[in-house]
Chain A
Amino acid sequence: MKEQELIPHLFRTEFTKISAVLCKLFGIEHIEIAEDIASDTFLLAFETWSFKGIPANPVAWLYTVAKNKAKTYIKRSQLFEGKITTALKNSSTGIHEIEIDLSDKNITDSQLQMLFAVCHPSISAEAQIGLALRILCGFGINEIADAFLTNKETINKRLFRAKEKLREEKVPIEFPNEDEIIKRLDTILTTLYLLFNEGYYSESQDAILRNDLCLEAMRLTYLLVENKYTNHPNVNALLSLMCFHSSRFEARKNDNGEIVLYQDQDETRWNEELIAKGVYFLHEASQGGKISKYHVEAYIAYWHTIKTDSAEKWESILQLYNHLLQIEYSPIAALNRTYALSKANGNAVAITEAEKLNLTDNHFYYTLLGELHKDTDNDKAKQHFEKALLLAKTNTDRQTIRKKIDQLSTT
């Protein structure tokens, strides 16, 4: 029983470490070899430990096996004569002295450098997330397919194309220079943000998987915060945002797996520790002069950790959305802004503004209009909710909307 619990945990964390270090050693063009060696290591662990028990220091065991497998591979491989020799020639050491450095520092450095490589601008955002999940988070193809609500073949194709692209572009596994870091960080943060959202908003029934996606996104963001070259205010802001959001992870779903809307959540189930961490990183994020969209979103999320409604709360949230929309428009921000407007300036004003948004293909748009008409004009509210119901794409959304309609009829 213990083995069954231990191996998946180790696989996730150690797979990513071993494959990052080996990938850095071999070069991005041999990314599959790095993955294979890491996978083989865990297969051997599974076969051995199942019968002989878990060694005293499982991590050291894994590293020794991975190192030996890597060395054997280098010796046997025909590639050695060609590409890898050239790559390793600077070390001026013989085959037998090749050092595979699995120290904490080299693991962290390799993972960060892999993060830069994976989030290369030449690869589509979708493929970046897939690659990050596979290589940096150690997720299996099945799990990635489940998270994206698609099949294995699609994910395999996507990853294959992304790896081809990395090879074609000859993406180096290294830290870019400081100017380049700032430019590239934006792409990385976008990917980590999407990765987190993938977990937070995923329709996947697997709650543990969703949670893990969020935790992995946070772990990678934390790696950036821990490194002095990448510890920028916007990175802290993103981490703060993730902390605030994930503090509601437990409260967001009821025992049947249904979404519990913010206003119906039991705030005693909010995670105080994560809220405190969010506040800490938000403070760290405020050191610079620039305000990124992550700052604004983190402040909005901060206000949502205060359950009690107040004029100050909604006025602040409204102004933050006003600001966010100027930095970057998105339909969901426009809708949330209008909701905040109703709380701060009243429903009548908000209805006029909502109608201008004209997001007629968006079910949240009609849900919002329904909410704004509720109590003053229940017939209109019902009409809007029914339109929303037709447009809703997921069962969860349909369930939520049906509940709203039912509540109208009973009042």
Chain B
Amino acid sequence: MDEYILIFRHEDGQKVASPEQIQVWMKHTRDWIGGIAAQNKFVGGNGLPFEDSKVVGHKGVVTNGPFGEIKETIGGYIIVKGNSVDEAVEFAKGCPVLQGDGNTVEVRRIAKGDGVH
């Protein structure tokens, strides 16, 4: 079985939602993760707060970001177990981030470090 990382890409990370809406998203996310964990396929994951985030560029140029210049920002990730990329894709389809128009979830297999990959 392989591990896959599901990376949440937000079209606009600055969009401010109401506390009520955030609470709803939080429940959806927790239920989504709980559903994967209930299948014994959850490995780990984290949210990546936008607050205090920086982008370090060529020659060490540091900017506050990644807002403005970059269209898509990464809001978080989870790592799942799967027999195939298709299974990981099925998990990704349930990701609440996709409720936002333009948001995407990128699915990538994690290299095993066994010299084969």
A residues in contact (CB < 8 Å) with B: 315, 318-319, 321-323, 325-326, 329, 333-334, 337-338, 341, 345, 353, 356-358
Contacts and interface: CB of A to CB of B under 8 A. Distances in A.
A320 B35 CA distance: 13
B40 interface: yes
Nearest to A319: B30
A170 B7 CA distance: 50
Interface of B: 27, 30-31, 33-35, 37-40, 42
A325 B37 contact: yes
17 contacts: A315-B27, A318-B31, A319-B27, A319-B34, A321-B34, A322-B34, A325-B37, A326-B33, A326-B34, A326-B42, A329-B38, A329-B40, A337-B38, A338-B38, A353-B38, A356-B35, A358-B39
A329 B35 CA distance: 11
A323 B45 CA distance: 12
Contacts of A333: 38
A357 B30 contact: no
Contact of B39 (A318, A321, A357): A357
- Top-10 shortest CB links A-B: A322-B34, A325-B37, A334-B38, A329-B40, A322-B30, A326-B37, A337-B38, A353-B35, A325-B38, A356-B39
Contacts of A319: 27, 30, 34
Chain B contact residues, majority secondary structure: helix
Q: Chain A interface secondary structure, helix, strand, loop or mixed?
A: helix
A263 B27 CA distance: 26
Contacts of A341: 31, 34-35
Given A322-B37, A329-B38, A334-B40, 14 more contacts: A315-B27, A318-B31, A319-B34, A322-B30, A325-B34, A325-B37, A325-B38, A329-B37, A329-B40, A333-B38, A334-B37, A334-B38, A353-B38, A358-B39
Nearest to B38: A334
A351 to B, nearest CB: 13
Of residues B27, B30, B38, which shows the largest number of chain A Cβ atoms within 10 Å of its Cβ?
Answer: B38
A199 B46 CA distance: 39
A331 to B, nearest CB: 8
B54 to A, nearest CB: 28
Contacts of A357: 38-39
A386 to B, nearest CB: 24
Nearest to B37: A325
Nearest to A320: B34
Nearest to B41: A329
B39 A345 contact: no
Contacts of B34: 318-319, 321-323, 325-326, 337, 341
A144 to B, nearest CB: 32
A325 B41 CA distance: 10
A241 to B, nearest CB: 20
Contacts of A358: 39
A321 B36 CA distance: 12
Contacts of B33: 322, 326
Contacts of B39: 334, 356-358
Contacts of B40: 329, 334
Contacts of A356: 35, 38-39
